[in-house]
Structure formats: structure tokens, C-alpha cells
Amino acid sequence: MKMKLAVIPGDGIGPEVAGEAVKTAKKVCDMYGHRAIFTEAPAGGNAIDRYGEPLPKKTLDLCKSCDSVILGAVGGWQWDSLPGDMRPERALLGLRGELGLYANLRPAVLHEALKGACPLRKEIADAGINIMVVRELTGGMYFGDRGRKDTPLGQAAWDTELYSVFEVKRIAEAAFDAAKKRGRRVTNVDKANVLESSRLWREVVAEAAKGHPEISLDHMYVDNASMQLIRDPGHFDVIVTTNMFGDILSDEASQLTGSIGMLPSASLGGSGFGMYEPIHGSAPDLAGKDVANPIAAILSIAMLFRYSFSLEEEAASIESAVTRILNQGFRTGDIYSEGMKRVGTKEMGRLINESIGRS
Ligand code: IPM
Ligand code: MG
């Protein structure tokens, strides 16, 4: 198979982890006889510095001309005081919106070897955690109308949560699809006891579920869901939720796996095209020190093979290699515990890549 891949290394630890991820993709392509062409492009803070804008048109055009996008991370304190539409994060939102990537899959899996790093009680960790958060990614408060105005009480600001039936239905379908390949259970998370947008959301999800009798669907308010995630994570198989709630709950879910450095993501638009990135940020304090955990970025490459190219064996070969290296006791700082072998970003990447295809 031939693949054209855009690579956006980004800021902070982005280039380091994306670098390891690209090496993984190359290794798998070599092993399985695929040809991939990688083209790098700027976005985020580095693009603001060089081109005066977070998402240059050239970068967007490159992404559109490729089969998929690999992204490191964007952002950093240098750009924190810029106005909202000039911040590095705009690049991410612009890519998601412009590329139509409405479905964000964020699997939170607690590896056997990392059970000790799970902050929950031992019996809960021992029961295992494997949750797929399906986050709506191109609507809701992230993309709704916003602004500021003067009021008698002084300046005020607003953001709007708006969801159409169309948007809710298509993300619900993405969640049901995901659930069919897993435990066939979907938990819809909303705030339907307060928000009108959530009431519509819930109606549409319930209606869509009628077309999938093999799926069992339950509904949960987001406050309860955030509690159940740490009280009884085994309750969850697939979670489907809004852009805003999905952002928050996926960070919470990541902690159950030991570290946010473990969580990959796929952002999909229904056509096979996708953007693959770790869910963590640019961690400027760790940048350039060869200490960041590259596993989330590397596991994102597994998702790339699986979701954009339907290459399940290739995807599984990466996931098995990660499991093997963790079982052998290798750890980056974020998942380190006594008695384990501490390694840096590059060494972790090298170990995993060398282990791909072994058993
Ligand atoms: C994420 C991040 C982004 C988001 C930020 C960096 C804009 O937190 O991908 O979860 O809020 O979506
Ligand atoms: Mg987030």
C-alpha cells in the first residue's frame, strides 16, 4: 500500500514524540511492504513565530493532499498571552474543523504491567480498565458563537453550546460502530437535566440506538460519569459525548491508565482520512530533555494503520510491541516505579520499534 502522510511535529515535546512515532510508522511499512511518504509542516506556536499565524494555509493544503496526518502537540507558555484566535491551539481546532474530523476516538487502556501506576484501589485496577471515549470534535462550545459585551455589571463573555440532529446522529453512529468491535455497550454522557442542547443530544442518541438492537445503551449525566469513572470504571465500554465533556473526561480516563503519556487518539471524518495524535499537550517543561513518554504518539500510529488503512495486523504489531516493552520493565519517567528500568524518549522509541514483529 502507498501512503502520503503529513507530519506536524508542533511545539514542546511534540517534535520528540512525533519523531519516534514516524520511526514506528517507517518500521512497520518496511516490515509489511508498504510505501509511505512523510512531509513535515509547521503549525502551532512555531508557525506563529515563523509565519505570524498558527495554521498556515500551506500546512492545511498539504494535509488535504495527504491520506492522513500525524501530529505531535502544539502550545506553550510563550504564546499564552496571545488573543484567542492567534493561539497555537487554534491550529488544532482549525485542522479538526477544516478537515471535517468530527469523531475523536480516545482509548484508555490500563496495561497489565502498569496496574501499579493506576491511582485507583488495587481491586479496581485488577479488574482491568478498557474504555473508548468517542468525543464529538467539530461542534459544541469549541466551535459555537462566542464573544464579549459590556453589561451593567462590567464586561461579560459568552460561549455557545449548539448541536444539530445531524451532528449528534453521526457521532452516535461512530460510537455504535466502535462498540460493535468491542463490548457492545455505549454510555451516553450529557447534562440533560440542565442543558437544552443535551436534551436534544440524548433524544437523538436514543433514537439512533434503535437501529442497533445489539448495542446496549445507557445515559449518564456528566457529573455522575466523572464520579463513576473513578468509582467503577468497569461500567464503561464506549462513552459517547460532546466536544467539551469529552475533553474533560478523556483526561480523567487517561489517569486511570497510569499516565496521560499513554493515550493515543484518532480524529476521523468518515472517509478514512484521519489525524493521529497523543492526547497529551506540548509539556514545555519536558521539552528537549529526552524524557517525554513517546508511547501515546507511537500507539497513535497503530490507530493510523487500523482506522485509515484497515491494516489490523500492522496495528496489532505496534500494540504488542508496546506491551512487550512494558512487560520487560522499561519505563519513561511518568510511569516509572522502583525496580523498573528508566529510559528516555529515544530509547523507549528504539526499544519498541526493535520489538515490532518479534514475539
Ligand atoms: C485535547 C486538547 C485540546 C482540546 C486543546 C489543546 C485545544 O486539550 O486535544 O484534548 O481541548 O481539544
Ligand atoms: Mg484535552
pLDDT for 54-67, tens place per residue? 999 999 999 999 99
Q: Would 111 be classed as within a structural domain?
A: no
Residues 133 and 86 in one domain: no
Residues 281 and 203 in one domain: no
Mean pLDDT of the chain: 97
- pLDDT at residue 127 in the model: 95
Residues 340 and 223 in one domain: no
User: Which residue, judged by its Cα, is nearest atom 6 of ligand 1?
Assistant: 89
Query: Among 230, 256, 282, where does a domain finish?
Result: 256
**Residues 84-98: tens digit of each pLDDT:** 889 999 999 999 999
Radius of gyration over alpha carbons of the chain, in Å?
A: 20
Residues 246 and 305 in one domain: no
Residues 220 and 334 in one domain: no
Instruction: Report in angstroms the alpha-carbon separations of 299 from 89, 122, 294, 314, 317.
Output: 22, 26, 9, 11, 10
Is 92's C-beta closer than 6 angstroms to any atom of ligand 1? yes
Residues 140 and 29 in one domain: no
Residues 97 and 27 in one domain: yes
The domain tally of the chain equals 2
Residues 236 and 275 in one domain: no
Residues 23 and 135 in one domain: no
Which amino acid, one-letter code, is at 349?
G
Contact residues for 298 (Cβ-Cβ < 8 A; gap 6+): 20, 21, 24, 264, 318, 322, 349, 352
Q: Would 113 be classed as within a structural domain?
A: no
Q: Which domain holds residue 165?
A: 119-256
Q: Would 112 be classed as within a structural domain?
A: no
What angle separates helix 312-327 from helix 14-32, to the nearest 10 degrees?
120
Q: Would 41 be classed as within a structural domain?
A: yes
Write the DSSP string, 187-246: EEEE-TTT-HHHHHHHHHHHHHHTT-TTSEEEEEEHHHHHHHHHH-GGG-SEEEE-HHHH
Q: Would 262 be classed as within a structural domain?
A: no
Q: Would 127 be classed as within a structural domain?
A: yes
How many angstroms separate the alpha carbon of residue 248 from the centre of ligand 2? 6
- pLDDT at residue 84 in the model: 86
**Mean pLDDT across 23-41:** 98
Q: What is the CATH number of the domain that holds 41?
A: 3.40.718.10
**Residues 301-321: tens digit of each pLDDT:** 999 999 999 999 999 999 999
Residues 151 and 208 in one domain: yes
When pLDDT is cut at 50, 70 and 90, the band that residue 270 belongs to is confident
Query: Among 227, 256, 285, where does a domain finish?
Result: 256
Is 11's C-beta closer than 6 angstroms to any atom of ligand 1? no
- pLDDT at residue 85 in the model: 86
pLDDT reading at 241 higher than 90: yes
User: Taking the mean position of all CA atoms in its chain, how far away is CA 29?
Assistant: 23
- pLDDT at residue 327 in the model: 97
User: Which residue, judged by its Cα, is nearest atom 12 of ligand 1?
Assistant: 247
User: Which ligand 1 atom sits nearest the alpha carbon of residue 281?
Assistant: 6
Residues 220 and 131 in one domain: yes
Residues 12 and 96 in one domain: yes
